[in-house]
Amino acid sequence: MKTKYLIVGNSTAAINAAEAIREEDKKGRIMLVSDEQYHTYSRPLITYYLGNKVEEDNILYRPLSFYDDLNIRTFFGRTVIRLDPDKKQVTLDDQTKLQFEKLLLATGGTPFLPLIPGRELHGVFTFTTLEDAYRVKKFINDHQVKKAVVIGGGLIGLKLTDALLALNIQVTIVELADRILSATFDKKASGIIEKALNMIGCSMMTGNTVEKIIADREGRVESVILKDNTRIDCNLVFMAIGVLPRIDLLKGTGIKFNRGILVNEYLQTSIPDIYAAGDVVETYDLLANAYRPLAILPNASLQGKIAGFNMAGIRKNYPGGLAMNSIELAGIPTISVGLTDPSILTDDTRKRGIEVLQEYQEENFVYKKVVLEKNKIIGAIFINKIDRAGIYTGLIKDKVDITPFKDYLLRDDFGLLSLPKEYRKHMVTSQGIEV
């Protein structure tokens, strides 16, 4: 079978690419292959679905008629097992062969699984797909789960914890670092969330790791043993240590990759007519001034859109992205963006002109922090007061000198009127910036 455009993947990057293609090319044939059997859905919402905070129908972010409306032929529940760039052809697991003119690889990521004895037991899960959510829901209901261990105190682990607590399941987080959310927050921010989680019944074992998962007589999870020999009874274990770019398809293809697929500013890979977008790629980090994976939804969405335009012959550049996360934990809304913890820098922060502005109200669970480098914002954290976060993100992206309004940055009334007139106009008219 032949197609003008072939998309491998069915999440944010893939869907935005298909829409961009159709915006410019109304008739060119589009085929889409996904190893999942489902209509596209919002992956960030599957933990909310697990915790009964949203209905299943509400995790779909495109109408059921989406594929028909865009005249996309779908191959759901099928896996690409071979890619031949010379022939411009992929082979599916049922031996179907699809030939393409332009290909987008939007294969996302795959959970990292540490080699822990017992990880194959019934009751051990990862949690990145809707199928995972179905299986976990069934396991919880079938076995009346009361206690769970979450291995990993990052964003995936914390969102899972929030869902489990909503189901009245007692949770213990086991995290190797000295605190939860160590890659996203500084110590003060992590401490606020730890305190809030403790107040609603969540336990944390930091600076520790699971050495072994123990089975009961029926082969199901009974407990875990930590590095310090602590034993924790539980019925359910989650591996939530992280996600790696899914690049297994690339071996032998000549497509260059490092941790993720290497792409240029047009989202092209090293092979002509093959593009990549989303969590599977390494793209330009505006603050780090380097190429690395930035596996977050806004980046995947924009990358997919720009890749789609380029596949359709409309030349557009991807400007680069930022590390950003917005999440509500224990009822507390949080946002972090950019470099939030300058203490991790190895060079002299004084020579770089690093300055930190912050407001900390521990009793009210409020924290505002802005990190400056030579009077330009390079990072920010907001906990419980997040309504102006879009403005700060815009200032980071645009590398604005904040000297004229520096004294206003942490004030509760900081907003558009605090900014220079010309920049206010830019923020209102620019696309994709919250104001």
What's the rounded mean pLDDT across residues 277-284? 94
* Residue whose entry in the numeric block shows the structure tokens 């300058």: 342
H helices present in 124-186, as ranges:
130-143, 155-166
What's the rounded mean pLDDT across residues 168-184? 95
The helix/strand/coil state of 192 is helix
The helix/strand/coil state of 107 is coil
DSSP assigned state of 346: S
Strands 221-226 and 170-175: unpaired
CB atoms within 10 A of CB 151: 23
Answer for the pair 27, 313: CB distance below 8 angstroms, yes or no: no
Question: What's the pLDDT score for residue 103?
Answer: 98
Beta bridge partners of 215: 221
Structure tokens at 150: 């979450």
Cα–Cα distance for residue pair 397/427, rounded to 1 Å: 11
Question: What's the pLDDT score for residue 349?
Answer: 52
pLDDT tens profile 81-128:
999 999 999 999 999 999 999 999 999 999 999 999 999 999 999 999
Q: Which CATH architecture has domain 113-241?
A: 3-Layer(bba) Sandwich (3.50)
Cα–Cα distance for residue pair 27/24, rounded to 1 Å: 9
At residue 418, does pLDDT exceed 80?
no
At residue 294, does pLDDT exceed 80?
yes
The helix/strand/coil state of 391 is helix
pTM, two decimals, is 0.90
At residue 389, does pLDDT exceed 80?
yes
* Residue whose entry in the numeric block shows the structure tokens 């690419």: 17
pLDDT tens profile 143-156:
999 999 999 999 99
Question: What's the pLDDT score for residue 424?
Answer: 67
Structure confidence at residue 346 as a pLDDT band (50, 70, 90) = low
Residues of the chain with CATH 3.50.50.60: 2-44+58-109+244-311, 113-241
Question: What's the pLDDT score for residue 292?
Answer: 86
Structure confidence at residue 434 as a pLDDT band (50, 70, 90) = very low
pLDDT tens profile 347-387:
555 557 789 999 999 889 999 999 999 999 999 999 998 88
What's the rounded mean pLDDT across residues 169-186? 95
pLDDT tens profile 190-216:
999 999 999 999 999 999 999 999 999
Residues in the chain: 435
What's the rounded mean pLDDT across residues 22-46? 96
At residue 345, does pLDDT exceed 90?
no
Question: What's the pLDDT score for residue 387?
Answer: 82
Strands (E) in 155-209, as ranges, are: 170-175, 203-206
What's the rounded mean pLDDT across residues 337-349? 72
The helix/strand/coil state of 305 is helix
Answer for the pair 19, 63: CB distance below 8 angstroms, yes or no: no
Residues of the chain with CATH 3.30.390.30: 331-429
CB atoms within 10 A of CB 248: 10
Cα–Cα distance for residue pair 160/85, rounded to 1 Å: 39
Answer for the pair 48, 162: CB distance below 8 angstroms, yes or no: no
Instruction: Please state the CATH superfamily assignment of the domain spanning residues 331-429 in this structure.
Output: FAD/NAD-linked reductase, C-terminal dimerisation domain (3.30.390.30)
Of 283, 282, 279, 278, residue with least CA distance to 257 = 282
Share of the chain above pLDDT 70, in %: 95
Q: What is the mean pLDDT of the chain?
A: 92
> What residues have CB less than 8 Å from 379, skipping those under 6 apart?
287, 336, 337, 338, 339, 340, 341, 342, 369, 370, 371, 396
Q: Which CATH class is domain 2-44+58-109+244-311?
A: alpha beta
Torsion of CA 251, 255, 260, 263, to 10 degrees: -170
Cα–Cα distance for residue pair 299/227, rounded to 1 Å: 37
Distances 2 to 5, 9, 83, 87, 376 between C-alpha atoms, Å = 9, 18, 15, 12, 50
pLDDT tens profile 4-29:
999 999 999 999 999 999 999 999 99
pLDDT tens profile 213-228:
999 999 999 999 999 9
What's the rounded mean pLDDT across residues 299-315? 97
What's the rounded mean pLDDT across residues 152-166? 95
